[in-house]
Amino acid sequence: MINLFLVFVGGGFGCIVRYLISVGFQKTTLTLPWATFVANVTACILFAFALWLMQAKDMNTHALKLLFITGFCGGLSTFSSFGYETFLLLKQAQFFYAGMNILFNTLACLFIFYIFKAA
């Protein structure tokens, strides 16, 4: 039961941060869905840093992983929004921007894990 609570609390805070990021981008007229990109990249940075820190400090606790990685980072990142926004770009025949969205999100997040060499 405590595991569910940890994921719930972490996910709740992650969702709040995700919402605040989207509010910050609401009044922009940018073509790419930058709020989703920023949320996903931020979640990857925090996820990779947390894994790196846990390995470096030998603090590999299950509770911390559930609270921060599964909960907070899971609530912050948003694959469903990424998929939907890419679909909308394709539906609007904005193929270049759809491709850039896929490329930017994927490469940026992979690069972050490479930098931290998260295992």
pLDDT at res. 116: 87
| Domain span including residue 105 | 2-116
Could you give the number of structural domains in the chain?
1
Q: Dump the DSSP string for 31-66.
A: SS-HHHHHHHHHHHHHHHHHHHHHHHTT---HHHII
- Tell me what the mean pLDDT of segment 100-115 comes to: 94
Determine contact, residues 81/87, Cβ cutoff 8 Å: no
Both tokens of residue 13?
């805070």
pLDDT digits (tens, 9 = 90+) for 8-54: 999 999 999 999 999 999 887 777 789 999 999 999 999 999 988 88
pTM for this structure? 0.86
pLDDT digits (tens, 9 = 90+) for 74-102: 999 988 889 999 999 999 999 999 999 99
Q: What are the b/e assignments for 59-76, b being 16+ CB within 10 Å?
A: eeeeeebbbbbbbbbbbb
